């Protein structure tokens, strides 16, 4: 009997523990819109050489909504020159603020309330200077915002996670978190997207017209040169 009991104990130790199958939804997708990006402020001419800017790297809702109904934590992987380059934020606002002098690309890992869902990893380049400028032109008092709108799609989530994603609190637009940076964030909406597309098209049209004008003048000058050359040859 002792031998049998010992054999049974060994067998239990070898066999993997039974796992309970978590019920999942079927033919279901849930979309969670997120925005990740950075905002940088120039600290002025009296700032230290290696602390010219204060910047914040963040993950937020498109309208500043509380995303903690879906996100459990965000891990920000900064440049290795920073003390504690990996910062884990487990409650909103999901953001990290630092000072520095150089631009670099950071990794952002987003973890979800349901641990069976794979975390999402994105890269983001922290911008300190306005587009089209360099480090010698730092006298801009306007903050530099660089961000990306994205949508995380969950396919057939677990029933528990589905209820969390579709709960009334998750869908309530009033769950906007106060943030000192929200006054600088771009407006994300269909109307804003259309406006951006219109402005982009106007810019392209203007550039095309300028190129056509330069080509026309170049052709005229070329024709004049050819005619002058032909006249000289005939003489």
* Tens digit of each residue's pLDDT (9 = 90 or more) over 139-197: 678 899 999 999 999 999 999 999 999 986 666 666 777 888 877 888 876 545 545 55
d(C-alpha 73, C-alpha 67), whole Å: 10
CA dihedral 190, 193, 199, 204 (to 10 degrees): -130
How large is the average pLDDT for residues 15-36? 83
How large is the average pLDDT for residues 207-233? 77
Q: Are 102 and 57 in contact (CB under 8 A)?
A: no
Give 228's pLDDT tier (boundaries 50, 70, 90): confident
pTM confidence score: 0.71
d(C-alpha 109, C-alpha 122), whole Å: 7
* CA count, 13 A, side-chain hemisphere, 50: 2
The sign one gets for the Cα dihedral 84, 126, 129, 152 is negative
Looking at residue 216, what is its pLDDT? 82
Q: Which residue is it, tokens 């849930």?
A: 30
Looking at residue 70, what is its pLDDT? 95
Whether a cis peptide bond, with omega within 30° of 0, leads into 29 is no
Comparing 9 with 31, the larger pLDDT belongs to 31
Percent of the chain residues past pLDDT 70, beyond the cut: 75
Looking at residue 209, what is its pLDDT? 79
d(C-alpha 68, C-alpha 84), whole Å: 24
Q: Are 68 and 106 in contact (CB under 8 A)?
A: no
Give 202's pLDDT tier (boundaries 50, 70, 90): low
Lowest mean pLDDT among 76-80, 126-130, 177-181: 177-181
Residue of 115, 124, 127, 107 whose CA lies nearest to 55: 127
The secondary element (H helix, E strand) that includes residue 178 is: none
Q: Annotate 78-116 with b (16+ C-beta within 10 A) or e (fewer).
A: beeebeeeebebeebbbbbebebeebeebebbbbbebee
């Amino acid at each position: 009997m002792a031998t049998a009991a010992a054999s049974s104990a060994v067998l239990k130790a070898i066999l993997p523990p039974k796992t309970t199958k978590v019920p999942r939804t079927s033919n279901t997708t849930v979309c969670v819109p997120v925005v990740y990006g950075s905002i940088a402020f120039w600290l002025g001419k009296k700032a230290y050489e290696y602390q010219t800017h204060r910047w914040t790297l963040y993950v937020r809702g498109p309208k500043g909504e509380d995303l903690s109904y879906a996100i459990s934590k965000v891990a920000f992987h900064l440049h290795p020159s920073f003390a504690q380059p990996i910062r884990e934020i487990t409650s909103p606002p999901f953001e990290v603020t630092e000072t520095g002098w150089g631009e670099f690309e950071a990794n952002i890992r987003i973890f979800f309330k349901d641990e069976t869902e794979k975390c999402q990893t994105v890269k983001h380049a922290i911008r300190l200077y306005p587009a089209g400028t360099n480090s010698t032109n730092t006298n801009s008092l306007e903050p530099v915002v660089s961000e990306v709108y994205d949508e995380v799609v969950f396919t057939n989530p677990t029933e528990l996670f589905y209820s969390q994603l579709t709960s009334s609190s998750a869908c309530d637009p009033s769950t906007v978190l106060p943030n000192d940076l929200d006054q600088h964030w771009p407006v994300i909406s269909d109307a804003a997207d259309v406006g951006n597309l219109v402005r982009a098209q106007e810019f392209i049209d203007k550039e095309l017209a300028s190129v056509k004008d330069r080509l026309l003048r170049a052709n005229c000058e070329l024709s004049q040169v050819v005619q002058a050359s032909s006249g000289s040859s005939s003489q």
